[in-house]
Amino acid sequence: MEAEARKTLAKIGAAPVENPLTALAELAGEVLAFKNILAERVNLLDEIRYEGNTGEQIRAEIVLYERAMDRAGSLLANIARLNIDERLAAISERQADAVIAAIEAALAHAGVTGKAATEAKHVAARKLRAVR
């Protein structure tokens, strides 16, 4: 069973999660998008129930939408509880600090000092802000 699961994962290109915080945020986006798609489907329904062989039945779209709302709520609560936004911001800040330190080291190594070094840092800062 495990070998079969590995083959299936390899076939679909499943890769290890390198940043679980980003992956969780991306998953939340997909969950909310799916919930919204289901909401559109539910809004198109004329009736939420129908008569089946065993009596009155609820439409599958309603059940799926209810599940999607529940899962979206749970996932968003987990994200809020884990302070994912703050953690991602902290990661971005550390990355920016590392880039700035690298730029400063490269300028110093190249002998660029004073006003030229300051201007180069400002240009780098503008470029980095534009990427965000």
Residues 23 and 76 placed together within one structural domain of the fold: yes
Over residues 48-71, the pLDDT tens digits come to 888 878 888 889 999 999 999 999
Q: Do 96 and 130 belong together in one domain?
A: yes
Boundary of a domain, candidates 63, 82, 101: 82
pLDDT single digits (tens) 25-41: 899 999 999 999 999 99
pLDDT score of 115 more than 80: yes
CA angle (98, 122, 101) in 5-degree steps: 20
Give percent of the chain above pLDDT 70: 96
pLDDT-derived band of residue 132, with 50, 70 and 90 as boundaries?
low
Same domain for 89 and 43?
no
Inter-CA distances, 28 with 79, 88, 96, 112, Å: 9, 14, 25, 45
Q: Is there a domain that residue 5 lies in?
A: no
Domain of 23 in residue numbering reads as 17-82
Tell me if 3 is assigned to some domain: no
